[in-house]
Amino acid sequence: MLDSGDHNAYSVWPQGCRELDEQLDKDIADYTKAIELNPDEASAYIKRGVAYQVKRDYDSAIADFTKAIEMGDNSGYLDRGSAYRQKRDFDKAIADFSKLTEMTPDASDAYWERGEVYIRTGEYDKAIADYNKPIEMYPKDDSAYRFRGVAHDDMGEYDEAMVDLNKAIELKPDYTNIRQRGWIYECNGEYDRAIADFNKLIGMNPGATEGYYGRGWAYAEKGDYDRAITDFTTLIEINPESSEFYYDRAEVYLSIEKYDKAISDLTKAIDLGDIYCHLPRASVYAQKGEYDRAIVDYTKEIELCRQDPIAFYERGNAYKALGKKLEAIADFEEYIKLSKEPELFAKAKQEIERLSVN
| Per-residue pLDDT at 22 | 85
pLDDT band, residue 12 (cuts 50/70/90): very low
Side chain identity at residue 206, one-letter code: P
Which residues constitute the domain of residue 307? 276-358
3-state helix, strand, coil in the chain (%, to 5): 80, 0, 20
Q: How many angstroms separate the first and last alpha carbons of the chain?
A: 76
Name residue 279's amino acid: L
Tens digit of each residue's pLDDT (9 = 90 or more) over 25-46 = 999 999 999 999 999 999 999 9
Is residue 135 domain-resident? Answer: no
69: pLDDT strictly greater than 60: yes
DSSP 127-147: HHHHHHHHHHH-TT-HHHHHH
> Is residue 336 domain-resident?
yes
CATH number for the domain harbouring residue 296: 1.25.40.10
Position 305 scores a pLDDT of: 81
- Determine the angle formed by the axes of helices 210-222 and 191-204, rounding to 10 degrees: 160
Query: How many separate domains does the chain show?
Result: 2
The whole-number average pLDDT for the span 330-335 is: 94
Nearest one of 271, 268, 330 to 295, comparing CA atoms: 330
| CB 236, CB 246: distance < 8 Å | yes
- On the question of pLDDT at 324 being above 70, the answer is yes
CA separation for the pair 149, 141 (Å, rounded):
13
Cα–Cα distance measured from residue 210 to residue 212, given in angstroms and rounded to the nearest whole number: 6
Task: Indicate the range of 63-72, 182-191, 303-312 predicted with least confidence.
Answer: 303-312
Contact 314, 286 (CB under 8 A): yes
- With respect to residue 305, please indicate whether it lies within any of the assigned structural domains: yes
Check: pTM over 0.85? Answer yes or no. no
- Please state the rounded mean pLDDT for residues 240-268: 97
Please give the average per-residue pLDDT across 47-57, as a whole number: 93
The pLDDT of residue 346 is above 90 = no
More confident residue, 1 or 178: 178
| Predicted confidence (pLDDT) at residue 56 exceeds the cutoff of 50 | yes
270 in a structural domain: no
- Does residue 28 fall inside a structural domain? yes
Q: How far apart are CA 32 and CA 283, in angstroms?
A: 55
Would 162 be classed as within a structural domain? no
Looking from the CA of 326 toward its CB, the CA atoms found within 13 Å total: 0
> What is the C-alpha separation between 89 and 99, in angstroms, rounded?
16
Phi, psi of 341 (to 5 degrees): -100, 110
Q: Percent of the chain scored above 70 by pLDDT?
A: 95
Element (H or E) spanning 37, and its range? helix 18-37
Between residues 254 and 357, the one the model is more confident about: 254
pLDDT number for residue 358: 64
Domain assignment present for residue 52? The answer is yes
- Quick check: 4 pLDDT over 60? no
> Which phi-psi region, left, alpha or beta, contains residue 156 (left: φ > 0; alpha: ψ -120 to 50)?
left
At position 215, the amino acid (one-letter code) is: R
| Statement: residue 257 has pLDDT above 90 | yes
Mean pLDDT over 148-153 rounds to 93
pLDDT tens sequence across 160-191: 999 999 999 999 999 999 999 999 999 999 99
Which of 41, 74, 104 corresponds to the end of one domain?
A: 104
The C-alpha atoms of residue 55 and residue 202 are separated, in whole angstroms, by 32
Residue 116: closest CA among 141, 148, 139, 80: 148
pLDDT for 315 beyond 90: yes
Residue 193 has pLDDT above 60, yes or no: yes
User: Which of 334, 332, 337 is closest to 348 using CA atoms?
Assistant: 332
Query: Does residue 23 lie within any of the structural domains?
Result: yes
- Rounded mean pLDDT of the chain? 92
**Of 104, 123, 157, the domain-final residue:** 104
Last residue of one domain, picked from the residues 81, 104, 127: 104
CA proximity to 20, closest of 49, 46, 56, 68: 56
Express each pLDDT in 203-252 by its tens digit: 999 999 999 999 999 999 999 999 999 999 999 999 999 999 999 999 99
Q: Return left, alpha or beta for 339; rule: phi > 0 is left, psi -120 to 50 is alpha, else beta.
A: beta
* Per-residue model confidence as pLDDT tens digits over 79-115: 999 999 999 999 999 999 999 999 999 999 999 999 9
pLDDT band at 282 (very low <50, low <70, confident <90, very high): very high
Looking at residues 108-136, what average pLDDT do you find? Answer: 93
Q: Which helix (H) or strand (E) holds 67?
A: helix 58-70
Residue 21's pLDDT band (cuts 50, 70, 90): confident
